[in-house]
Amino acid sequence: MSELRVCRLCEIRERLTGNISEYVNRYLEEIREEDSASEECYVSRLEVCASCSRCHEAMCTACGCYVELRAAVKDRDCPYHRWR
């Protein structure tokens, strides 16, 4: 029997006491400066994700990540190598 896959965004919504934007803002604020992507890199990554057919409601359907969070961290990359 195959395992049921859960949407990570839905899972986050269920666990949050506030809204998603509060969670995203809190996460972004907590990234250490040395681990944070530059603003130029962050914006560029988000533009690539926004134009990708695998991006749906700011979530990557390929890996399940919330793209705004992945793009903000310097050492993260796209699972389809569209950005690094």
Res. 79 pLDDT band, cuts 50 70 90: confident
pTM of the model: 0.76
29-60: pLDDT as tens digits: 999 999 999 999 999 999 999 999 999 888 88
CB–CB of 61/55 below 8 Å? yes
pLDDT at 11: 67
Can you point out the beta strands (E) in 1-84? 55-56, 59-60
pLDDT at 9: 60
Ranges of each domain in the chain: 8-72
Q: What value does the mean pLDDT take over residues 18-32?
A: 84
CB–CB of 64/8 below 8 Å? yes
